[in-house]
A = this chain, B = another copy of it.
Amino acid sequence: MDTLVLRLFATSSLVLTACLVAFDSQTKLLFYSMVRKASFRDLKALSILVWVASAAAAYNVLQILRSRLFPQMGKNLAWFGYLLDQAVAYLVFAANSAALQGCVFAVSGQSNFGWMKVCDKYTRFCIQIGGALICGYAACLAMAVISALSAYGLFRLYSPKHFLQLKHQ
């Protein structure tokens, strides 16, 4: 089963997510001379998202190259690819969800903790982050389907009768 199209889609979404977050900044004049610039470095979760999205994009590119250069995979390599696909899918999903939680605080604040809204000051910044998160979740969906397909490719090699035994055909 060829996952090329899905991997290309996931890679482009991940690159788009990383770029949207990393190149997002907004400068605001707060008082007469105080200038405050918002960037992804203000929120740890966004820095982590940039790193995770870039790493996952690089991983998908490597997998595309691998599938072009060595189309036939042995059983061990298939297991390795399956486990990595699963891990990367969960990792991207966790990074996205953590960033989403951070953004929910930024949008709505948390009044009982005295945490103020940030997005009413940096509206354009927040909208761009929102777009990045949508791209990120699209990539997650693609990665989940990819990991299901790589499970399919691996597990159909096994016998339906005997546990962990390869089948003859």
Contacts and interface: CB of A to CB of B under 8 A. Distances in A.
B86 A144 contact: yes
Nearest to A100: B98
Given A101-B45, A148-B86, A161 B169 contact: yes
Contacts of A97: 93-95, 97-98, 101
Interface stretch (A14-22, A25-33, A113-121): A113-121
Interface in A2-44: 42-44
A45 to B, nearest CB: 6
A124 to B, nearest CB: 17
A131 interface: no
Interface stretch (A55-63, A64-72, A151-159): A151-159
A161 B159 CA distance: 13
Interface in A137-160: 144, 148, 151-152, 154-160
A127 interface: no
A80 interface: no
A144 to B, nearest CB: 7
A112 B42 contact: yes
Given A97-B101, A152-B155, A167-B169, 15 more contacts: A86-B144, A90-B90, A90-B93, A90-B144, A93-B93, A94-B94, A98-B98, A98-B101, A115-B115, A115-B116, A148-B151, A155-B155, A156-B156, A156-B157, A156-B159
